[in-house]
Amino acid sequence: MTVRTRFAPSPTGYLHVGGARTALFNWLFARKHGGTFLLRVEDTDEARNTDAAKQAIFDGLLWLGLDWDEGPDRGGNHGPYFQSERKPVYDAWFDKLVTAGRVYQDDGAWRFRFDRKQMTMQDLVCGEVIIDYRDESNTPDMVVKRSDGSYVFHFVNVVDDLEMEITHVIRGEDHLMNTPKHLQLIEALGGSPPQYAHLPLILNPDGSKMSKRDAGAAVDDYPRQGFLPGAVVNFIALLGWSPKTDQEIFSLEELADRFALENVNRAPARFDFEKCKWVNQQHLVALSPGDFSVAAEPFVRAAGLPVPDHFTAVAAAVKDKVRLLEEVPTAVDFLLHDAFSYDEETVTKARANPAVNELLETLAQQFDTLSDWSGDGAKAALNETAKTASIKPGPLMFALRVALSGRAHGPDLGEILNILGQNRSTARVRQFSKML
């Protein structure tokens, strides 16, 4: 059997992180088994569907790296892939229900007549689920075709899965109770049902249901904040799935190799945005200096900062210091221009040593005389200045960092000195000494 999975979003808003996880798990399962991942668009709600929302879904999936094998912009043998274009298909399948006597009219609408029996299904995540259809008061016959001639979700969803030969339906737990209805429809239509796997809910850290307004809910926010797509995929994969090891950082290819529905948890997943940022940091650290600078450059330009020829070295200096690419401009601004600001609390701390003013001036003189400038040579000059003054180098090193960057923390001091060069470093030390 060739595995065929699908993601079937409604284009009524942005791509939600829950939808992205559903798409990811379907993509991973298909890739793991050498199958086909299909995208179809459930766009029959004309009042709420928008072209912008449709494009946001496409863009979000492609940004995450979840390319589809069949669907819009790809084609395939099971189209059209927009439900709004499939009415003739639905009409033909509805006629089968009419012929079989499984539908009847009720106030202009058409209802599907349930087979009044107990339904037992085996879900690949949730296990055995039993729904008793013998009590009609709890399970009334459902509408499948409205009085205006349009079809409801349950009917078109089942027809599309049959027509498109879907073998595995991997979707959110909120659809779990719909599945027995779908199985009855499939049986009435003479089809073979796919296997079902219902994914646990995604909750906020406090256990509340994740809403559209919560941080991290909208996939299109991630690129603007400076997340890497691989990091977001990595984090989303761990929302409800476990590799059964202590490993937390994965590439998309590793996830596809390791993914298994048996390792999807039954309990709801907790969305921790801080953990998502940490995962992103691990992916940033793994980048080469060149790749990191390419990823960071748009954010630096957007902040109005210059991008010099040696920007790769500038960016590399903070590669291990930031969690998001949007943090890079603030982290490197002092390396790109001389009009940076000083943190007042840090300046006050530097002033606590009454001798620091004179020591910085002495250090500036030492810098002036260095014939072979390098960060290491400058640091050696600092140690010599401290030794001559009979003090530990720590306080002078702190004062030098503040003089060069205006802050207490940041890149390695040697990297700062190398990037700024002899003249700019010396000028900053003299300027800061006059402020003390």
Which distant-in-sequence residues (6+ apart) come within 8 Å of 365 by Cβ? none
Assess contact for 23 and 7: CB atoms under 8 A.
Answer: yes
Structure tokens given for 11: 């284009």
What local confidence, expressed as pLDDT, does residue 375 receive? 65
What local confidence, expressed as pLDDT, does residue 372 receive? 83
Pairing of strands 109-112, 103-106: antiparallel
Q: What is the pLDDT along the chain (436 residues), one digit of tens a residue?
A: 899 999 999 988 889 999 999 999 999 999 999 999 999 999 987 778 888 889 999 999 999 999 999 999 999 999 999 999 999 999 999 999 999 999 999 999 999 999 999 999 999 999 999 999 998 988 999 999 999 999 999 999 999 999 999 999 999 999 999 999 999 999 999 999 999 999 999 999 888 888 777 878 899 999 999 999 999 999 999 999 999 999 999 999 999 999 999 999 999 999 999 999 999 999 999 999 999 999 999 999 999 999 999 999 999 999 999 999 999 999 999 999 999 999 999 999 988 887 888 899 999 999 999 988 876 788 888 888 989 888 888 889 999 999 999 999 999 999 999 999 999 999 999 999 988 7
Strands (E) in 8-106, as ranges, are 36-39, 103-106
How far apart are alpha carbons 213 and 273 in whole angstroms? 13
Give the helix/strand (H/E) hosting 32: helix 17-32
How far apart are alpha carbons 38 and 74 in whole angstroms? 10
What local confidence, expressed as pLDDT, does residue 371 receive? 87
Q: Give catalytic residues, as residue numbers.
A: 212
Question: Which residues lie across from 199 on neighbouring strands?
Answer: 172
What local confidence, expressed as pLDDT, does residue 198 receive? 97
Prediction pTM value = 0.93
